[in-house]
Amino acid sequence: MQKELKVAQIGHKFIGKAHAYAYSNAGFFFDLPVRLRKKVLCGIGDDLGKIAEQWGFEESTQDWKEAVQDQEVDIVDICAPSKIHKEIALEAAKQGKHIFCEKPLAMNMEDVREMLAAVEQAGVVHTVGFNYRKVPALAFARQLIQEGRLGTIYHFRGLYSQDWLTNPQFPLAWRLRKEAAGGGSSWDLGAHVVDLSRYLVGEIEEVVGQQTTFVKKRPVAKYEDGLTAIAGEELGEVDVDDASSFLSRFEGGAVGLFEVTRYGTGHRNQNQIEIYGSEGGVIWRGFEKMNELEYYRTKDPATSQRYRTVQIGEADHPYVSAYWPAGHIIGFGDTFTHEIVDFVKAIVNNIKASPSFEDGLKTQAILTAVDLSVAERRWVSISEI
């Protein structure tokens, strides 16, 4: 008889939906060594029960402790607001549950260190929601780099552009208040780009940055849901950054150029990654073109060199052979499926998951260094943090 892993998921908004989708589809597409059961969905709001049913959870509860302490539960999946990540994770570790926690792990370095210590002490498997690693095109980029097919890496560029704040009349949503969001564009978008840079190129040594709040006062929101919000009449202050840019140096000698912004007019969700090496280069253009990787080889004949837009979907590309024949793309939600697949395999094989809370900590250290660099207007070494 096949073993099961039972899941308690805390959070049922945008990212919660993606997690639930992943638990539904991981076993459908991939041959998992265990069966996943969506045991309980935890959240707040009148529609919780309806959503739990629609998403295929067996139960629902408004009390996260009850869910985490449930003896039957094997996995605690945390996609609740960042402010309560730590408290849930500590309890889950105490209960011996494996933990999947969304990014950012917590609001500051101390909390993250505490969380990492707790999961290590408990001996549970832990992972953090850097789902870009699970985009097949980016996993393939890493293969190319690991196999030396780009040679020595010179440049990393990560430019993440959203545009939902372009209009100065857009309301002061919760993401624009430090108290609720913990940080601005740097923490929200920058976390993904920094993790990717580590995944693809290696460790960062030092940074210097600049952060800007272009529109300092915005109408307070009368109503908000996800990235949708309706402006009220009063004005309130934006106390997080709208955009954050920084320069970095990697251990291997490569240089990094980072910019994340919510004012990248016309780009709903573009995350452009460029990596240039002595034997090749790759460019990825974000979730809207997530199944494409542009690839250049210096060894092609000069008359027919140039970037080719590889459509990820061939049998030997990571993850995708579980889906459809070449030429039939997968979507955003499927990257969460890959997170679950890898997490489940780590649990079953009792190995460290990738990315782990340690990766979460390292990324948080870099973002903290950027903040310090901005505050003190100087280069900051990651080792200072």
Window 322 to 361, contacts with its own copies (CB under 8 A): 323-334
Q: Does 16 sit near its own copies (CB under 8 A)?
A: no
Is the Cβ of residue 65 or residue 157 nearer to its own copies in the bound state?
157
Q: How far is the CB of 348 from its own copies (least distance, A)?
A: 17
Q: Is 168 in the site for its own copies (CB under 8 A)?
A: yes
CB 196 within 8 A of CB 287: no
The contact pattern for its own copies, residues 18-37, with x = CB under 8 A and - = no contact, is x-xx--xx-xx--x------
Rounded CA-CA distance 345/37 in Å is 15
Chain center to CA of 46:
28
- Which residue, 209 or 360, has its beta carbon nearer to its own copies? 209
Report the residue number, 364 or 373, with the smaller CB distance to its own copies.
Answer: 373
Scanning 123-265, the segments in alpha helix (DSSP H) are: 136-146, 178-181, 185, 191-200
Kindly tell me the sign of the dihedral angle through the C-alpha atoms of 321, 323, 324, 328.
negative
Binding flag, residue 276, its own copies (CB under 8 A): yes
Report d(CA 65, CA 214) in Å as an integer: 40
What is the token pair recorded at 278?
């002595």
Closest separation in Å from C-beta 189 to its own copies: 12
- Pick between residue 95 and residue 162 the one whose CB is nearest to its own copies: 162
| Token code pair at residue 21 | 């989708």
Nearer to its own copies, 11 or 209 (CB): 209
Contact yes or no for 248/228 (Cβ under 8 A): no
Tokens, residue 379: 């280069």
The DSSP secondary-structure symbol of 350 reads T
In the complex, least distance from residue 114 CB atom to its own copies, rounded to whole angstroms: 32
Determine the size of the site formed for its own copies (CB under 8 A): 98
Report CA dihedral (110, 111, 114, 116) to the nearest 10 degrees: -110
Tokens 């990571």, residue located: 318
Restricted to residues 209-268, the positions that interact with its own copies (CB under 8 A) are: 209-210, 212, 214, 226-228, 242-243, 245-247, 249, 253, 255, 257, 259, 261, 263-268
Q: Which is nearer to its own copies, 268 or 352 (CB)?
A: 268
Chain positions 89 to 148 lying near its own copies, rule: CB under 8 A, are: 140
Q: How far is the CB of 288 from its own copies (least distance, A)?
A: 5
Is 56 a binding residue for its own copies by CB under 8 A? The answer is yes
Residue 161 lies near its own copies (rule: CB under 8 A):
yes
Q: By C-beta, is 45 or 56 nearer to its own copies?
A: 56
If one asks whether residue 321 binds its own copies (CB under 8 A), the answer comes out as no
SS3 for 265-311 is CCCCCEEEEEEEECCEEEEECCHHHCCEEEEEECCCCHHHCCCEEEE
What's the burial of 214, exposed, middle or buried (CB within 10 Å: 0-12/13-18/19+)? middle
What is the nearest approach in angstroms of its own copies to the Cβ of residue 102?
15
**163 is a contact residue toward its own copies (CB under 8 A):** yes
